[in-house]
C-alpha cells in the first residue's frame, strides 16, 4: 500500500506579518495523522494570486491531498475563491443551499436587522466544478476539488469553522476516497530530566528500534514527551509491536515517568483527583491565576477544582489568605514562610483536600541580589502537612509564569501519589 | 530600491504531527517586517534530509534571506547541521568558543555534575564555511551561511534561544547587509462590529487607497484589528501619508474604536488604569482565572491589578465573596443577581476601585433549556454603581472562556471611560 501524503497551505497576509499564530495547521495535522495521512509539508503564503497559484502547483507535485485554509472571508483582502475557480477551470455560480444558509445565519444566529450586504450574499457564490461542503458554523462554505487523482479542499481560516468542516465533511470523505496505511502513536510524559540525558539513557533501546518505528522527543517546560510512532498495514500486529516497545521504554524512563498517556500535566492532576474524589484550590501570587486557568480549561473541572485566591497584592494575601504582616515584613512575599501560609489559607477558606500556592519574581523587573528574577517558592499540602520548595527559573516573564505553573502542578501530582497511594 | 524578501523554514516532525504549534514564525515575521523585510513564504518540513534539501532549493529561488529554525537539538532525531554543512560544501570542525560556552552552561547554569555527554560536546561542532552566531541561552549555536548573494541562517527551535539570536545577531547583521525599503504599519483596534459590516462602512475609503497602501482585517474574539501598511522609500513622506489615511479611517470607525495603537484588550485596560492610578480586582466563576491571567501577563501589573477570587464552587462564592444562599437557590449562579454580588464582594474584600465578575456556562455540559451553553453574565462596577449584562456565546469551551474574558475587559474599559472621563 502506498503512503498517503498531504500538504497544508494556509493563506493570509496576517500569517506573514506575524499578526496571527497559526494554530489550525497543528490541529489539522493531528487529525490527519490519526486517520493515517502523513503531512509532508505546511506552507503559508500571502493574499497574493501568484503566490497561491505557485503553492498549488508546487504542493500538488508530492501530496495526494492538498488542504487550504484562509482567504475566504467576506472582506476585500480575500481573493482565494475566484482564483480556485479559475485554477480548476470552472465558473462562479450561486449555490441555493449556501444562500439559504447565509440568510438563516443572519436572521437567527447573528440576529442582524436590515438588508444583507452584497459581500455576504457573495459568500453563496461557488465554482461550478467543486463539491460544496456546508459550513454550519459560518457563511463561507468549504470547497472540494478533484484533479488528476488528487484532492484539494479549501476551508475558511476561522478555527472553529475549519474544525467543524474537517470533522463533519473532510475527514469522512478522505477515509472513503483513499486506502490508508495504519499509523499508531504511543506517548509517555516525563518530567524533571533534560532531553539529552534522557536520550542517553535510552540510546541502546532507541538504536535497536525496527525501521517502521520512530521516536520523537518533544520538550515543553521541563517536561519531555516521548512519542513512539509505528507505521504499517496490519493493525493487530502493529499494536503488539508498539506495546512491546512501550513496555521496554517505560522501564527505562520509570524514574521520570509522569504517565503513559498523551495527557498534559493539568490533565494528569485532574485525573488523579477525580479517581480519589478529592479537590484542590490554589493561592497564586506570581502565576496570577494561570494555574487556576489550566485546571479549568478542560470540561468537568468543577468536580475537583473549587477555586483560587489570586493574591497579587500583599493586602489580599493578608486579608483573604491570613498571611501575617510580620512574615511579609521580615522575610518578604517570596519566601517559604509566606507561601506556606498562603497554602494554609486555601485549606482553611476554600475547604479543599489539597492546596497549591505560588510566589515568585517573574521579571523583567523586581529582582534583587538576594532574590533574582526567576526566584520562586511553591507550597503544596493537605490537612496533615504542607511542604515548600524553592526554584530558580531563567526565562522571560511569560515562560517563567508557565514554567512555575507546570512545576507547581507536578509538585501537587507527586504529593498526591506520595500521600494517597 | 528592490524589495527584500525572506522565507522561513521550520524543521521538525513535531510540527507535522500536530504536537507543536509554531509560534516562532509569527514572532520572526513581525521582527523582520519591522526592519523592512517582507516574509513571502513560511514552510514547515519534517526531520528528513530530502525534504529539507528540497525546501532550501525551493525557497532560495525567490527569497534573499532564508531563515531556518529547529533540527539542532542534542537528540538523535536531529539531522539538520550535517546536512547544512554538506549543502554548502563545508566540513565539520569543533569551534573552541562554542565548546567553552557549552562547558560553561553545564557547570554554571544547568549545574550538572558528572562528565559531559558526547552528544552535548557535539553541539560545538559546526561547518567550517559558516559564521558562528553565539547562542547565549543554549548549547546549539546559530549558523550564518552565504551563497550567491543570499543569506541562510540556521537557529535552534527553542523560542527564547531563537529570539536571543535574532535580536543580538541576525537582525543587526541583516540591516548591515541589505538596503531595506521602509515598511510602516498603523493599527486600529475595534470591538463589537463584524468584519463584513466594518468593511462596508469603510468601502469607499479603502477603494481609494494609493497602491503602496494595504489594509488588513484581523478578527479575533469580537475584536477586529485594522492594520494599514505602507511601503516605500522616503520615511518622512510615508509617515505623513499614513497619518493622513489613519485620520480618515479613525473618523469612519469611531463608533467601534477601542484605541489607535497596536495593543490588545488587556493592555488597553491596563493603560487606562495606570493613567488614572486606579486598580481592579476580579471575581471569576466561568473564566476560572483567565481574566486575572490576562491582566498579569504583561510587566507592571502590580500597579493596577490587586487580585482575583476564582469562585468556581458556589461555596467559595458564598464564603469569600458574600454571595447569598438565597440568590444561588432562587436564580442560580448564572444570573444578574449573583454576578452583581460577586462584584460587590470584590470591591469590599479586595478594596479595589473597580470590580469585574463573570459567571456562565462554558460547555460542553451544564446547559439547560433556560440557560443554554454559552449563557454568560458579566458585572462591572465601582463604589457608586454596579452594572451587569447578559451574553450568549456560541463557540466551544476554550473559545467561550476567551470570548467571555475579552468581553468582560471591554465592559470594564467602557465603564472606566464613561465614569472617569
pTM, to two decimals: 0.86
Minimal CA separation from A336 to chain B, in Å:
21
A302 touches chain B (CB under 8 A): yes
A320 touches chain B (CB under 8 A): yes
Whether residues B15 and A31 touch (CB distance < 8 A) is answered with: no
> What is the Cα–Cα distance from B377 to A307, expressed in whole angstroms?
18
Interface probe, candidates A17, A56, A219, A229, chain B, greatest B C-beta count within 10 A = A17
- H/E element holding A151? strand A150-155
> What is the Cα–Cα distance from B262 to B276, expressed in whole angstroms?
21
pLDDT tens across B59-85, in order? Answer: 999 999 999 999 887 665 568 999 999
State the DSSP code for A3: P
> What is the Cα–Cα distance from A219 to A202, expressed in whole angstroms?
16
Pick the closest to residue A35 from A238, A134, A176 (CA basis): A176
A117 touches chain B (CB under 8 A): yes
A389 touches chain B (CB under 8 A): no
- Per the listing, cell 515562560 goes with A399
Residue A49: band (very low, low, confident or very high) from pLDDT cuts 50, 70, 90: very high
B115 touches chain A (CB under 8 A): no
pLDDT tens across A62-75, in order? Answer: 999 999 999 887 66
Quickly count helices (H) and strands (E) in chain A: 17, 17
Degrees (nearest 5) of the Cα angle B295, B300, B301? Answer: 25
Domain boundaries of chain A, sorted by first residue? 5-91+128-177, 182-259, 265-419
Minimal CA separation from B254 to chain A, in Å:
19
Give the pLDDT of residue B118: 79
Average pLDDT over residues B389-407: 93
- Locate the DSSP E strands across A269-393: 280-284, 305-311, 354-360, 375-381, 386-392
ipTM, interface predicted TM-score of the complex: 0.86
Widest pairwise Cα distance in chain B? 78
* Inter-residue contact B359 to B376 (CB < 8 Å): yes
Q: How many CB atoms lie within 10 A of CB B136?
A: 12
Q: Give the DSSP per-residue string, B200-269.
A: HHTHHHHHT--TTEEEEEEEETTEEEEEEEEEES-HHHHHHHHHHHHHHHHHHTTTTEEESSS--HHHHH
B19 touches chain A (CB under 8 A): yes
A5-91+128-177 homologous superfamily: MoaB/Mog-like domain (3.40.980.10)
Rg of chain A in Å (alpha carbons) = 26
- Per the listing, cell 457573495 goes with A122
Which chain A positions have a beta carbon within 8 Å of B281's beta carbon? 316
Q: Is B84 left (phi over 0), alpha (psi -120 to 50) or beta?
A: alpha
pLDDT above 60 (res A1): no
Which chain A positions have a beta carbon within 8 Å of B229's beta carbon? 17
B5-177 homologous superfamily: MoaB/Mog-like domain (3.40.980.10)
Degrees (nearest 5) of the Cα angle A275, A276, A280? Answer: 105
Out of B160, B395, B399, whose CB is closest to A399? Answer: B160
Cα separations (Å) of B403 from B21, B356, B360?
21, 15, 12
Q: Which residues pair with B153 in a beta bridge?
A: B67, B144
Out of B20, B73, B160, whose CB is closest to A26? Answer: B20
Out of A158, A216, A306, whose CB is closest to B316? Answer: A306
Out of A45, A51, A289, whose CB is closest to B290? Answer: A289
Quickly count helices (H) and strands (E) in chain B: 17, 17
C-alpha cell at B162: 531563537
Out of B23, B29, B288, whose CB is closest to A296? Answer: B288
Give the pLDDT of residue B19: 76
Q: Which fold has domain A182-259?
A: Alpha-Beta Plaits (3.30.70)
Q: Which residues fall within 8 angstroms of residue A388, CB to CB, at 6 or more apart? A: A336, A339, A340, A343, A377, A378, A379, A380
Q: Which residues pair with B214 in a beta bridge?
A: B229
pLDDT tens across A390-413, in order? Answer: 999 988 899 899 999 999 999 999
pLDDT tens across A259-298, in order? Answer: 999 999 999 999 999 999 999 999 999 999 999 999 999 9
A307 touches chain B (CB under 8 A): yes
Q: Chain B residue closest to A216 (CA)?
A: B77
> What is the Cα–Cα distance from B357 to B397, expressed in whole angstroms?
18
Q: Which fold has domain A265-419?
A: Maf protein (3.90.950)
A180 touches chain B (CB under 8 A): no
Amino acid at each position: 500500500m502506498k503512503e498517503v501524503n498531504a500538504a497544508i497551505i494556509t493563506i493570509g497576509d496576517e500569517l506573514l506579518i506575524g499578526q496571527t499564530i497559526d494554530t489550525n495547521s497543528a490541529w489539522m495535522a493531528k487529525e490527519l495523522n490519526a486517520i493515517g495521512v502523513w503531512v509532508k509539508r505546511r506552507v503559508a503564503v500571502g493574499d497574493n494570486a501568484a503566490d497561491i497559484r505557485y503553492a498549488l502547483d508546487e504542493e500538488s507535485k508530492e501530496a495526494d491531498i492538498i488542504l487550504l485554509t484562509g482567504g475566504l472571508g467576506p472582506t476585500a483582502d480575500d481573493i482565494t475563491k475566484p482564483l480556485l475557480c479559475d485554477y480548476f477551470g470552472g465558473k462562479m455560480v450561486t449555490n441555493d443551499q449556501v444562500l439559504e444558509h447565509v440568510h438563516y445565519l443572519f436572521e437567527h444566529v447573528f440576529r442582524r436587522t436590515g438588508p444583507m450586504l452584497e459581500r455576504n450574499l457573495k459568500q453563496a457564490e461557488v465554482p461550478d466544478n467543486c463539491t460544496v461542503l456546508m459550513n454550519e458554523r459560518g457563511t463561507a462554505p468549504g470547497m472540494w476539488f478533484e484533479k488528476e487523482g488528487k484532492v484539494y479542499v479549501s476551508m475558511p481560516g476561522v478555527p472553529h469553522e475549519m474544525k467543524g468542516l474537517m470533522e463533519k465533511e473532510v475527514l469522512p470523505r478522505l477515509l472513503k476516497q483513499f486506502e490508508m496505511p495504519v499509523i499508531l502513536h504511543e506517548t509517555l510524559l516525563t518530567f524533571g530530566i533534560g532531553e539529552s540525558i534522557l536520550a542517553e539513557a535510552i540510546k541502546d533501546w532507541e538504536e535497536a528500534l525496527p525501521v517502521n518505528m520512530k521516536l520523537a522527543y518533544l520538550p515543553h517546560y521541563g517536561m519531555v514527551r516521548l512519542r513512539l510512532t509505528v507505521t504499517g498495514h496490519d493493525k493487530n500486529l502493529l499494536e503488539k509491536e508498539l506495546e512491546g516497545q512501550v513496555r521496554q521504554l517505560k522501564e527505562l524512563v520509570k524514574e521520570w515517568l509522569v504517565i503513559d498517556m498523551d495527557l498534559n500535566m493539568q490533565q494528569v492532576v485532574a485525573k488523579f483527583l477525580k479517581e480519589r474524589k478529592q479537590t484542590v484550590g490554589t493561592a497564586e501570587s506570581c502565576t496570577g491565576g494561570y494555574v487556576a486557568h489550566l485546571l479549568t480549561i478542560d470540561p468537568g473541572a468543577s468536580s475537583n477544582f473549587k477555586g483560587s485566591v489570586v493574591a497579587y497584592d500583599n493586602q489580599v494575601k493578608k486579608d483573604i489568605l491570613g498571611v501575617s504582616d510580620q512574615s511579609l515584613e521580615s522575610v518578604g512575599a517570596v519566601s517559604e514562610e509566606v507561601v506556606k501560609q498562603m497554602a494554609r489559607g486555601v485549606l482553611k477558606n476554600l475547604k479543599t483536600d489539597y492546596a497549591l500556592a505560588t510566589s515568585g519574581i517573574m521579571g523583567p523587573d523586581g529582582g534583587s541580589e538576594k532574590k533574582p528574577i526567576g526566584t520562586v517558592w511553591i507550597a503544596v499540602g493537605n490537612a496533615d502537612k504542607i511542604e515548600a520548595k524553592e526554584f530558580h527559573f531563567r526565562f522571560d516573564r511569560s515562560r517563567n509564569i508557565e514554567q512555575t505553573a507546570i512545576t507547581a502542578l507536578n509538585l501537587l501530582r507527586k504529593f498526591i501519589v506520595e500521600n494517597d497511594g
